[in-house]
């Protein structure tokens, strides 16, 4: 495996997960903020996900970044593709107190730009719970369009297809 790439955006550093990031990650997964992404989760369940975020890089050559600004962790953004899902997905999780400031948008743009260059994917989607209005707004702001069909692995999820030409620029 190559090293997990470090991306720099205007306000953030995007880097691979480290042990010291886990407390904030577990607190996020313990909160109601995760109701649209399969949560809340116990600390033990959250650790499995956290470790899988890191291991994803070796299995697929892409994975999750931790978003950091001035030493503060804001959330995670990443590319996710377990074999049971039809397409690689870009996802975003912003921690309490850091939402509403455009961090997810800024990081997702950087992640998409990296993915288009490094992976040359045929398609990148976001699987979004039909009730997750904040994520739906972000997907639309990123230029994604909603597919006619729901996700094969989850009938409760819309499939938003990202505009890779736009992402490259």
Partner 1 sequence: MGHRDIPVLDTQRLVLRGPEPQEYPDFKATFASYRSRFMGGPLNGYEAWMLYAAEIGHWEIRGYGMWMVHLRDTDETVGMAGGWFPAKWPEREIAWILWPEQAGKGYALEATHAVRRYYYEQKGWETAVSYIDPKNLEAIRLAERLGCTKDAGAPSVDGNDAVYRHPSPEALRGTQLAHGIDMEIAHYADPLFKPKGWALD
Residue 124 in contact with residue 115, Cβ under 8 Å?
yes
Residues 3, 136: Cα–Cα separation, whole Å: 32
Residues 79-138 that bind partner 1 (CB under 8 A): 82-84
Mark the segment that binds partner 1 (CB under 8 A) among 41-49, 68-76, 108-116, 155-163: 41-49
> Under the criterion CB under 8 A, does residue 43 sit at the interface with partner 1?
yes
- State the number of binding residues for partner 1 (CB under 8 A): 30
- Shortest distance (Å) from residue 86 CB to partner 1: 13
The backbone torsions φ and ψ at residue 70, rounded to the nearest 5 degrees and listed phi first, read 45, 45
- Shortest distance (Å) from residue 55 CB to partner 1: 3
Interface residue with partner 1, options 24, 33, 36, 53 (CB under 8 A): 53
Tally of CA atoms within 13 A in the half-sphere of 136 that contains its CB: 11
Residues 32, 23: Cα–Cα separation, whole Å: 16
Nearer to partner 1, 47 or 114 (CB): 47
Query: For residue 65, is it left (φ>0), alpha (ψ between -120 and 50) or beta?
Result: beta
Q: Which residues bind partner 1 (CB under 8 A)?
A: 1, 3, 16-19, 22, 26, 42-44, 46-60, 82-84, 153
């Amino acid at each position: 495996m190559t090293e997990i790439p470090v991306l720099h955006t205007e306000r953030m550093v995007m880097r691979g997960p480290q042990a010291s990031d886990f407390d904030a990650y577990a607190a996020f997964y313990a909160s109601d903020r995760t109701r649209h992404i399969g949560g809340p989760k116990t600390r033990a369940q959250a650790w499995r996900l956290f470790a899988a975020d890191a291991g994803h890089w070796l299995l697929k050559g892409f994975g999750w970044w931790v978003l950091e600004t001035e030493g503060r962790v804001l959330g995670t953004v990443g590319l996710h593709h377990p074999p049971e899902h039809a397409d690689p997905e870009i996802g975003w999780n912003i921690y309490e107190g850091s939402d509403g400031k455009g961090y997810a948008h800024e990081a997702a743009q950087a992640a998409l730009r990296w993915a288009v260059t490094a992976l040359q994917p045929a398609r990148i989607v976001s699987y979004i719970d039909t009730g997750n209005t904040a994520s739906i707004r972000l997907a639309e702001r990123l230029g994604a369009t909603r597919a006619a069909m729901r996700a094969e692995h989850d009938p409760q999820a819309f499939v938003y297809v990202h505009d890779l030409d736009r992402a490259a620029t």
